[in-house]
Copies of this chain bind each other. A is one copy, B any other.
């Protein structure tokens, strides 16, 4: 939707994904985890399958499907699920913006389904498949953004060109990640760019539909075009700072968790000793202590 809310909602979606990525990749770096393109086999069964459904995939599907619905049926009473206008004599196409948005959102929803199928349903997780699906979604977004700009005002085009730039860089990074999935620099560059796409869409909504000064940006004023790029550069800086903040927070939390873990260990060894002291057979007490340790650790790190 070429409206205020039509730019705010995808902006929030991209931003939330960026934040999710920032936490996820920070934790992976701190724990020294790596992505495996084809992982080990997993226990079958519907229950363990449902347990494995990833938040990211569900988010993509919910966001994508809601956005598709909104394009066609929002605000209530509207019905745009038609391509041809049959009332006019030469059957012109109508709602081109809506159909382009729907196509975009559908690809992201599809990528969500692929995440769920790969992470929950298949006997082995095929990370490669998930990666290709999300890469494709961003490429389609880039292609549609590019053709989205025909016949628009210069300020609007400038805003969308910068969005396209961020989107295209994400495409490039995702393409490289198909072959190098464990590069930390790529992880965080991707995160920053997705977050920038989000905050930039939020800002774009205000530039195009609710300018802060209350006056619409004139397209023939060169200063406007130059400030658009300028603002985008500030968004980049802001999002980098945000990612650094999230990484620091996660590192702090991770260290605390590490300390809590050591505390648990200390207590367990104390129990062990006292149990030993109470004259129980040491063999038994050790087994018991290990069980207790396992339980405590599970409580602490679910």
Measured CB to CB, the residues of A under 8 A from B are 83-84, 90-94, 96-97, 99-100, 103, 107, 110, 128, 132, 136, 140, 143-144, 146-148, 150-151, 158, 165, 178-179, 185, 213, 215, 218, 221-230, 232-234, 236-237, 240
Contact = CB atoms under 8 A, between A and B. Distances in A.
Given A128-B185, A140-B233, A185-B132, A148 B226 contact: yes
Contact of A222 (B96, B158, B213, B228): B96
Contacts of A90: 213, 215, 218
Nearest to A85: B223
Contacts of A240: 136
Given A144-B229, A144-B230, A146-B229, 11 more contacts: A84-B213, A92-B224, A93-B223, A93-B227, A100-B229, A143-B165, A143-B229, A147-B228, A148-B226, A150-B222, A178-B185
A141 to B, nearest CB: 10
27 contacts: A90-B215, A92-B218, A92-B223, A92-B224, A93-B223, A93-B227, A94-B223, A96-B227, A96-B230, A99-B227, A99-B230, A100-B226, A100-B230, A103-B230, A103-B234, A136-B236, A140-B233, A140-B236, A143-B233, A144-B230, A147-B158, A147-B226, A147-B229, A148-B226, A150-B222, A150-B225, A179-B185
Contacts of A93: 221, 223-224, 226-227
Contact of A225 (B99, B103, B147, B225): B147
Nearest first, the 5 closest Cβ-Cβ pairs linking A and B are A147-B229, A96-B226, A151-B222, A91-B213, A96-B223
In terms of DSSP, what is the predominant structure of the interface of chain A?
helix
A186 to B, nearest CB: 10
Contacts of A218: 90, 92
Contacts of A94: 223
**Max chain B Cβ within 10 angstroms of own Cβ: one of A83, A93, A140, A150:** A93
A240 B114 CA distance: 13
Contacts of A132: 185
Nearest to A148: B226
Contacts of A237: 107, 110
A3 to B, nearest CB: 17
A233 B92 contact: no
Contacts of A147: 158, 225-226, 228-229
Given A140-B236, A178-B185, A215-B91, A97 B226 contact: yes
A163 B233 CA distance: 19
A132 B187 CA distance: 13
**Max chain B Cβ within 10 angstroms of own Cβ: one of A94, A110, A147:** A147
